[in-house]
Amino acid sequence: MMLSRNIILAVAMVAGASASNASPAEHVVATFARTDIPRSKIVAGGAVFHCEQSQCVARAPSSRTLSLEACKVLAKRFGRVETFGEGGRALPAEKLRACVGGAE
């Protein structure tokens, strides 16, 4: 009985440590050719993007946020997307071209 309680406590400690070491999702940022975007919000790719000036930022992205579909929603609203990515990852070049092509 005491051994199983110790095992449960050990597992709980490891799970807690793993959860605290998990890094939060990176912000997904879209930058645009234009610089006059009014302060606004738009939902794309399962996330709320906060937009102003020349960019939109999703602070709580989902697994669908960094996608061609989300890029197209933003491009339709704000025009030519120059960059679209999070941390060290970006929308692949061919998808960014497809996104830009859909906005023009």
Q: What is the per-residue pLDDT for 26?
A: 86
> Domain coordinates of the chain in residue numbers?
28-101
Q: What is the per-residue pLDDT for 17?
A: 38
pTM check: above 0.85: no
Instruction: Evaluate whether 99 touches 83 at the Cβ level (below 8 Å).
Output: no
- pLDDT class of 68 with cuts at 50, 70, 90: very high
Q: Say how far apart CA 68 and CA 99 lie, in whole Å.
A: 6
Model confidence pLDDT, tens digit, residues 24-60: 568 999 999 999 999 999 999 999 999 999 999 999 9
Q: Which secondary-structure segment (H or E) carries 8?
A: helix 2-21
